[in-house]
Amino acid sequence: MSNNGPSPDEIRAIYARMVLIRKMEERLSADFHAGKLPGGVHLYIGQEAVAAGVCANLTDADKIASTHRGHGHFLAKGGDPKSMMAEVYGRENGICKGMGGSMHVADISKGIIGANGIVGAGLAITAGAAFAAQLDGDGHVAVCFFGDGASNQGVLMETLNVTSLWKLPMVFICEHNGFSEFSPSATVTSGEIADRARAFPMHVNVVDGNDAVAVWTAAADAIAHARSGNGPAFIEAKTYRIHGHFEMEKHMLSRPYRDEAEIEEWRGRDSIPRLAAHMIEAGIASDSDIADVNARTDAEVEEAAAFAEAGTPAGPGLAPSLMFAEGGAG
């Protein structure tokens, strides 16, 4: 199955979404280090092309499950920046009323069935969503984002097996960012991750995860395959996590676990300026268009931060109303 790639309008939309993710994450990094956030954050900086390229092929009715590094997926799927920022701030005006926090952003109205703090947990949840889509017969798909660390969890093989056996409309997106928490992938993962999927009868592709157009094209093929009733598809997107496992790590680790030279090398492959250069070269956008996107996004992020800071901190009094049906708690 093949396609002609994203249209100019789709490329411009992907770029805008990538810039939004980057600037939101940069603001959250700054706010964390300023002591404004109630907990740690796992940032998506460097991986924006994967979420934006995949989710550009999805509708609100399609489902996604995410990871502890889930802000980018939430925003790429159309989640509201203000309610996400407020959630990370632990405010009652957050998307989960401040009770989920950074690792549990979700919005069912957008098909975002949730980020998850348990490594690999989204795989089985997504299989359930794919099974529901198959039963409904509505042509929708379920997509699971997971990392190379999660590829070593047994639930991956279980999910690959059952989705292949039942030909479920599920798309696996492995974001191979080079690390399993603080361990380089090469020290904990044997062989090629995509080869695990090739053991099953499914559509498998490996793509440069820092090339937004390549990601979009691979995702379009994979999603079309799943929508058509042909069973699951698997994409390994090779990318890089520019920030650490989480923002607090420098205060708790006795020594670094990667070289600054490696980080700088990957900064040179940054997907955002790479896509901007492609857009200008192809005549899809001008320098002023790129500047306008950045200026609009700066304003949007400031609005989101102001919304979050103005919210009421979530407290334990909210818990009964969220845990029990009306009249169910004494």
| Count of Cβ atoms closer than 10 Å to residue 227 Cβ | 18
Q: Which domains does the chain have, with CATH numbers?
A: 8-310 (3.40.50.970)
Dist. CA 99–CA 82, nearest whole Å? 16
Per-residue tokens: 328: 């169910």
* 8 contact partners, CB below 8 Å, separation of at least 6: 282, 284
The whole-number pLDDT of residue 323 equals: 73
Find out whether 303 and 85 touch, Cβ atoms under 8 Å: no
DSSP secondary structure, 185-254, as one string: HHHH--S-HHHHHHTSSSEEEEEETT-HHHHHHHHHHHHHHHHTTS--EEEEEE----S-SSTTGGGT-S
| Count of Cβ atoms closer than 10 Å to residue 258 Cβ | 13
Per-residue tokens: 177: 């960012």
pTM (2 decimals)?
0.94
Residue 184's SS3 state is strand
The whole-number pLDDT of residue 325 equals: 66
* 189 contact partners, CB below 8 Å, separation of at least 6: 148, 151, 152, 180
Per-residue tokens: 112: 């975002």
Dist. CA 261–CA 264, nearest whole Å? 5
Alpha helices in the chain (DSSP H): 8-33, 48-55, 71-76, 81-88, 121-136, 154-166, 185-188, 193-198, 212-227, 260-267, 271-281, 287-310, 319-323
Per-residue pLDDT of the chain (330 residues; tens, 9 = 90+): 457 899 999 999 999 999 999 999 999 999 999 999 998 899 999 999 999 999 999 999 999 999 999 999 999 999 999 999 999 999 999 999 999 999 999 999 999 999 999 999 999 999 999 999 999 999 999 999 999 999 999 999 999 999 999 999 999 999 999 888 888 888 889 899 999 999 999 999 999 999 999 999 999 999 999 999 999 999 999 999 999 888 887 778 878 888 889 889 999 999 999 999 999 999 999 999 999 999 999 999 999 999 999 999 998 888 777 777 666 544
Find out whether 71 and 28 touch, Cβ atoms under 8 Å: yes
